[in-house]
Amino acid sequence: MAVAKKRRDTEVFSLSFLDCICCGFGAIILIFILTVAQKRSVDRVNVDDLDERVRRMETQVATTRNEVERIQRLLAAAQAELPSLQQKTTETQLKLTERQRQLLAMLEQTGQLREALASLLDQKKALPTVDQSPIPIPEVDRRQYLTGVKLEGECVLFIVRTSGSMLGETVEEASALLEESEARKREAPKWQRTLRSLEWMIASLDEKTRFQVLLFSDDAGLILPDRSDEWFSTGDRQTLKQVVTRLREIVPQGSANLERAFFRVRTLSRLPDSIVLLTDGLPTASDSFLSEGDTNDEQRIRFFREAVRGLPERIPVSTILLPMSGDPAAPALFWELANRTRGALVSPAKTWPEA
């Protein structure tokens, strides 16, 4: 008979179970150990960071405390100076008040002065106006420079040479200026002196004396061609302005044909009572004797004598002879003309008419 195997009872706490329990427990311990170590490392980092922040804040606090102390010292100093500043402010206000009073007084005086000025201006406007003459009135004492020159009579004719020679006192100087611009020619010292001499003589005329101006170079013509039939009065300021303006526009150039100038005298609406000739020497051109190129002394003498033949009789001719080198016969011939016509010859100093 078979013997039945005895069934073995199962044990709950076997070796395998215990092994599992131990392994799990060991794992938990390991995790705990690792976690705690990591936490200690993290805490250490946080503590170091906090220490650094604390140190910075302490530094800032110390800096702020020092700044507060500095401000407190400044405030204390300012408070100590405040009474002095208040006193100075009071003194300044007193001074300002005094100056304000002075300013008000000055304003009142200014207003009074303005009223007085306005009154004077009104009085000035009420006065009769006198236009300033375009030609300055000459000094009486300087008339001695023109002793013998006929500026008398009802009508005086001024004959002015406007040739290129009027630019300089020598042929070389005049020739050099002929190459310059028109503005430079107008400003030539000798020409400017001629204009001042003419203006001075016009201003020297008696109020009742009338005048006319005849210009000559290559040709001859009156200074205001559209008024060739008139004789001008020194009291006509508008006409004087026109004459002066025209004189300032003239540009000396060309030759000098005195024959045409003396012939033009015969064509005037009325013959002059006296003639004043402003020139610097003998003529250099003539209608009666034609010449080419430069003229010599003999030709210029012939031109002069021919021009004098065409001059109307019984008219005194006074000559203002300006300096010009290289014309030795000029003084003698113009002196002869003065004696013949009962005029005069004047060769003024270089400072005339200024002095």
Contact 212, 270 (CB under 8 A): no
Contact 205, 211 (CB under 8 A): yes
Q: Across the chain, what does the average pLDDT equal?
A: 83
* Mean pLDDT of the 165-192 span: 92
258 Cβ neighbours under 8 A, 6+ residues apart: 161, 216, 279, 282, 283, 286, 303, 304, 307
Say whether pLDDT at 123 is over 70: yes
Give 21's pLDDT tier (boundaries 50, 70, 90). confident
pTM, entire model: 0.63
How many helical (H) and strand (E) elements, i.e. helices and strands, does the chain have? 8, 7
Q: Is 286 exposed, middle or buried (0-12, 13-18, 19+ CB in 10 A)?
A: buried
pLDDT of residue 3: 52
Q: Is 335 exposed, middle or buried (0-12, 13-18, 19+ CB in 10 A)?
A: middle
The class that CATH gives domain 140-346 is alpha beta
Give 153's pLDDT tier (boundaries 50, 70, 90). confident
Which tens digit of pLDDT belongs to each residue from 181-224? 999 999 999 999 999 989 988 988 888 899 999 999 999 999 99
Determine the straight-line distance between the first and last CA of the chain, rounded to whole angstroms: 188
Alpha carbons 247 and 196: distance in angstroms, whole number: 10
Q: List the one residue out of 274, 257, 262, 256 whose CA is nearest residue 309.
A: 262
Which tens digit of pLDDT belongs to each residue from 334-350? 999 999 999 999 888 77
pLDDT of residue 226: 93
What length is written for the chain? 355
Which tens digit of pLDDT belongs to each residue from 248-268? 999 999 999 999 999 999 999
Q: Where are the beta strands (DSSP E) in the chain?
A: 155-161, 210-216, 220-222, 232-233, 274-279, 317-321, 345-346
* Mean pLDDT of the 55-75 span: 87
Say whether pLDDT at 143 is over 50: no
Give DSSP secondary structure letters for 1-64: -PPPPPPPPP-SS-HHHHHHHHHHHHHHHHHHHHHHHHHHHHHHHHHHHHHHHHHHHHHHHHHH
pLDDT of residue 140: 46
